[in-house]
Amino acid sequence: MRLASVTVGGVRRGGVVDGESIALLSCMVDDVVRGAPVETAEVLPLSEVRLESPLHRFNRDVLCTGWNYWDHFEESKGKREGQEVERPLRPTFFTKGPDTVIGPSDDIAYDPGLSQKWDYEAEIAMVIGRDGRSIPEEKALDHVFGFLVANDVSQRDLQRAHGGQWLKGKSLDATMPLGPWLTTIDSVDDLAGMRVQCEVNGVLLQDATSAQMAFSFAQIIAELSHGMTLRAGDVILTGTPSGVGNAREPQLFLRDGDVVVTRVSGLGELRNTVTLTDLGAR
């Protein structure tokens, strides 16, 4: 099942996408993730609606995994400016603010007064569907509601300017496309065979599969939930593969007007334009 979010007649509602149509729900996708029944009504052609981020009600920051593809970890060696570390034995975690979230075709906010190093990071996002703490790896997937495509757009200079942390540099408003719909885990054929791609202006810059992840979806949940409750509705990004702009030679950063396509096989595609936006740079 593919769950999308739309606003019809001024009211935001969830919907079930089937081919080229969407059957509207009486509730939001956020409610379905937290257990509300799926009762569909009016059916509309997909071409008549504008898809929004499937999720709008966040329990907390978006939970994120860093360095989760070894090729990305290796390509960034020597480019972390004082953050050099050995290959981690456990996943690296950080968070980003929920005000980053935008829809699958919304503009990515770009304010060069805040940063000169806007980078792209194609990722698979997981959504938790069942609360749990210290979830064992073998039961971890029972806690997954489904998956989405995300782009963890980052400002590399802001990461460095504030002590080498990752919150600033990952949390500017309206910079993280999410969608195009939430695909339930039972509709994903091969968890290890999802192809993750990012194109900028038609040039393929990232191309990997989930089989290349350093830590699997189940391992991420087991480690993150160790002593820390995960709740239905929590969103967890699972890391980006190699090919990010910061690690390229020469480096490649996003600019006003760039078209970013983020694609995961089986989960859909995001198409967002980087657009000059006043985010309040001083």
The pairing of beta strand 62-66 with beta strand 235-237: parallel
Is position 121 an interface residue for Mg ion (rule: CB under 5 A)? yes
Chain residue whose CB lies nearest Mg ion = 152
Provide, rounded to whole angstroms, the least separation between the CB of residue 50 and Mg ion: 26
**φ, ψ of residue 80 in degrees (nearest 5):** -100, 0
Q: Does 61 bind Mg ion (CB under 5 A)?
A: no
Measured from the CB atom, the residue of 6 and 125 that comes closer to Mg ion is: 125
Q: Which is nearer to Mg ion, 2 or 118 (CB)?
A: 118
Pick the closer one to Mg ion by CB: 115 or 240. Answer: 240
Amino acid at 79: K
* By the rule CB under 5 A, 52 interacts with Mg ion: no
240 binds Mg ion (CB under 5 A): yes
Q: Name the residue nearer to Mg ion (CB basis): 95 or 265.
A: 95
Residue 237 gets the label, from left (phi > 0), alpha (psi -120 to 50) or beta, of beta
Q: How far is the CB of 149 from Mg ion (least distance, A)?
A: 13
C-beta closer to Mg ion: residue 30 or 121: 121
119 touches Mg ion by CB under 5 A = no
Residue 58: closest CA among 220, 236, 215, 187:
236
Phi, psi of 90 (to 5 degrees): -130, 160
- The verdict on 75 binding Mg ion (CB under 5 A) reads no
| 149 in Cβ contact with 180 (< 8 Å) | yes
Phi and psi at residue 232, in whole multiples of 5°? -55, 130
Q: Determine the interface stretch with Mg ion among 39-47, 235-243, 260-268, 272-280 (rule: CB under 5 A).
A: 235-243
- Strands 195-200 and 108-110 turn out to be unpaired
Burial of 132 (C-beta count, 10 Å sphere; 0-12/13-18/19+): middle
Q: Looking at beta carbons only, is 169 or 180 nearer to Mg ion?
A: 169
Using rule CB under 5 A, residue 152 touches Mg ion? yes
Q: How far is the CB of 257 from Mg ion (least distance, A)?
A: 23
The footprint of Mg ion (CB under 5 A) covers: 121, 152, 240
